[in-house]
Amino acid sequence: MGSFGEIKDFKENFNQILTDKTEEEKSRITSQIDLLRNKAELLSRSVEKEREKRKLELNGEREKIASQTTEFLVGSKEARKSQKRLKKIEHKFDKIVEKPLKKEKKQSKKYERGASKLENKSEKIITKNVAYLHKTNKIIEQNMSYYQGARGEETAIETMSRLPDTYYVFNDLNLKLPKAVRYKKSREYVRSCQIDHLVVGPSGIFLIEAKNWSEKTFREATFLPHKQVDRAGLVFYIFMVRKLKTKYTTYKVVATMRKLPYIHFQYVDQLTVYGLNSFILKKPKKLSEEDIQKIVKWLMRYYK
């Protein structure tokens, strides 16, 4: 499980995945138990069949010896030998029948013990074999902020993919200036920026910071996404002017997954992810096709 899509699918369908995997393990163990018991039963039947066969053979031999004994002279060597053999058969009949079948009987019992052992431990085995699913879910739960953030960015990407073909979308763009510049709003110096999404099209250039924050997180944030995208906008603007020698119209946007209390921040617009396309398309035309291709070609050098 590597891509966000796989993680999202796992998280959203965890209960069903767990149920399916548990049932799969139950079915697998049941099949193993049935297989062992079938083997034990088949071997047991084979042993019983062989036992009956040997009984018949031994009874036949006993009757033959008994009939032959009467033909020998009483006290003769042949008579004593026959009587000894007959006596052995009479006293150890069951043992003589069972001895050759000892190995098969042992194996049959082994199969049956294996089935019983597996049956008794089935719940523990199932729990162990689905433990990795609980572990994976726990890791996702412990990193929900990253998961929710990725989910917000994925929604933004999916939304912007529906823009007309005249618009180009760059995701996770990183730029770095040769030297730090002063960010006047907080008297800090910035040199690099990471832009979640950047759109280039007829209506201009749009720098978008996507957030999947709750209202509580939004209110308590010590570093607003508005400031983040504004600082990124400064780095981008200086970079653009230095490289392209032109001041193209640029918009900075904070796009949230849900509607949150509006925060006024100069030169930064705040809206939901679902209103992105409408916001972009309603802006007046600012760039020609030639301008767009020039900007896209420049950005492609820094896009990985």
CATH number of the domain within which 165 lies:
3.40.91
Task: State the Cα–Cα distance between residues 283 and 200, nearest whole angstrom.
Answer: 12
Which is it for the CA torsion 258, 261, 264, 265, positive or negative? negative
Same structural domain, 124 and 224: no
Of 142, 164, 185, at which residue does a domain stop?
Answer: 142
Residue of 201, 218, 199 whose CA lies nearest to 265: 218
Kindly report the pTM of this predicted structure. Answer: 0.56
The predicted-structure confidence for 84-108, as pLDDT tens digits, reads as follows 665 665 555 566 556 666 777 788 8
Same structural domain, 242 and 166: yes
pLDDT at 106: 81
Tokens of 201: 């099209």
Q: Are 272 and 259 in contact (CB under 8 A)?
A: yes
Same structural domain, 164 and 201: yes
Same structural domain, 120 and 151: no
Domain that holds residue 230: 147-300
Same structural domain, 154 and 235: yes
In terms of average pLDDT, the best of 49-53, 283-287, 297-301 is: 283-287
Helix locations, 161-300, DSSP H: 215-220, 225-244, 276-282, 289-300
Of 142, 177, 195, at which residue does a domain stop?
Answer: 142
Helix 225-244 crosses helix 289-300 at what angle (to 10 degrees)? 100
Task: State the Cα–Cα distance between residues 280 and 255, nearest whole angstrom.
Answer: 12
Task: State the Cα–Cα distance between residues 263 and 11, nearest whole angstrom.
Answer: 32
The predicted-structure confidence for 176-225, as pLDDT tens digits, reads as follows 999 999 998 888 899 998 998 999 999 999 999 988 888 887 877 778 89
pLDDT at 80: 63
The predicted-structure confidence for 12-35, as pLDDT tens digits, reads as follows 788 888 888 889 888 989 999 999
Of 142, 177, 210, at which residue does a domain stop?
Answer: 142
Same structural domain, 159 and 291: yes
The total of structural domains in the chain comes to 2
Same structural domain, 155 and 109: no
- For a pLDDT cut of 90, what percent of the chain falls above it? 36
3-state class (DSSP) for residue 205: strand
